[in-house]
Amino acid sequence: MRNKNVLYLVQAAIIAAIYVVLVTIFNMWSFGPIQFRIAEALTILPYFTPAAIPGLTIGCLLANLLGGSVLLDVALGTLATFLGAVLSYKLRKYKWLVPVPPILSNALIVPWVLKFGYGAAEAVPYMMLTVGASELIVCGVIGMILLYALKPLQYKIFHEQ
């Protein structure tokens, strides 16, 4: 039992760290009205392990804090990632639906953060379209490529003790 808890914590910590590193490396694309947050490709990881839920949530929280985000972004951006991760985990039996929750949660929540947290001049529906399109590319395309790349290794990487 103890090894299982340690494995869960280690997996969550590694996922959080990778998320933060990806946001930091691709910082210029990770923030603003037109976002292309490469780290969001990791939102397919709940397909493999429930440890991805706290990993993605903490990773997003830390990335937003380190990226200088306003408090509204830290709170609601992290909430969007958490909701997407939880719902992705619940849909893990339907592989092709796994990226849908993070796409929708970010497309619906982040534009309001951009408008009220950063005073973005663009209309909310326009930002829903731009954020949704970038999430579709990152989660739906890059994320699914990642899912298929990890699938043959899933029992080595995400095994339970």
The domains found in the chain, sorted by start residue, are 2-30+38-157 (1.10.1760)
Task: List Cα–Cα distances, 1 to 4, 8, 82, 102, in angstroms.
Answer: 5, 11, 26, 31
pLDDT value of residue 48: 95
Q: How many CA atoms lie within 13 A of 66 on its CB side?
A: 16
pLDDT value of residue 120: 83
**What H or E segment, with its residue span, contains residue 134?**
helix 124-135
CB 15 within 8 A of CB 116: no
pTM: 0.91
Strands of the chain, DSSP E: none
pLDDT value of residue 30: 65
Mean pLDDT split into 10-residue runs, the chain, 161 residues: 83 96 83 78 96 97 91 94 97 96 96 89 90 94 96 82 45
pLDDT value of residue 161: 45
